[in-house]
């Protein structure tokens, strides 16, 4: 499986030259941001693991030491965002329920939105960092 750590995903600070940051063969911890099953590739990030913007350039070892904790916090933020989106969708469907003749249609629509959102989240990449 091929993985890409795009230069824009290394740090929140500007990275001009990857060779100034990483050495060939260096082991790094990354967060899997996306998995393209069709092409069997993954998009990776170290930027998402930075406790503070720019830490990859200032103190890479600290980022790697705290990678698991940073990944856990990142996953919690994603889950909270998902819950907020789900509640907004349910509110929209509920508000439409007053206009609809059949309240069961509103419940069915809310259930459909919930199942769609859960399918999207279940396809989200794992949030544990990988060591490459």
Per-residue model confidence as pLDDT tens digits over 26-40: 999 999 998 888 888
Q: Among 54, 48, 14, which Cα is nearest to 34's?
A: 48
Dist. CA 8–CA 75, nearest whole Å: 20
Per-residue model confidence as pLDDT tens digits over 66-120: 999 999 999 999 899 989 988 888 888 777 764 444 555 555 666 666 666 666 6
Q: How far is CA 77 from the centre of its chain?
A: 9
CB 106 within 8 A of CB 94: yes
pTM over 0.75: no
Q: Among 71, 58, 72, which Cα is nearest to 29's?
A: 71
Number of domains in the chain: 1
User: What's the pLDDT score for residue 99?
Assistant: 47
- Range scoring the smallest mean pLDDT among 7-11, 49-53, 111-115: 111-115
CB 30 within 8 A of CB 5: yes
Which residue segment(s) compose the domain that 36 sits in? Answer: 2-131
On the CB side of 74, CA atoms within 13 Å amount to 24
> Structure tokens of 76?
């919690």
């Amino acid at each position: 499986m091929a993985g890409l750590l795009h230069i824009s995903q290394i740090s929140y600070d500007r990275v001009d030259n990857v060779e100034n940051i990483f050495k060939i063969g260096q082991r790094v911890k990354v967060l899997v941001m996306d998995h393209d099953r069709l092409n069997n590739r993954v998009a990776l990030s170290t930027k998402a693991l930075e406790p503070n913007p720019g830490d990859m350039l200032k103190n890479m070892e600290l980022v790697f030491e705290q990678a698991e904790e940073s990944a856990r916090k990142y996953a919690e933020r994603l889950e909270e965002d998902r819950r907020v989106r789900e509640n907004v969708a349910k509110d929209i469907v509920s508000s439409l329920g007053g206009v609809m003749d059949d309240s069961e249609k509103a419940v069915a629509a809310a259930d459909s939105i919930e199942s769609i959102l859960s399918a999207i989240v279940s396809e989200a990449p794992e949030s544990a960092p990988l060591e490459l």
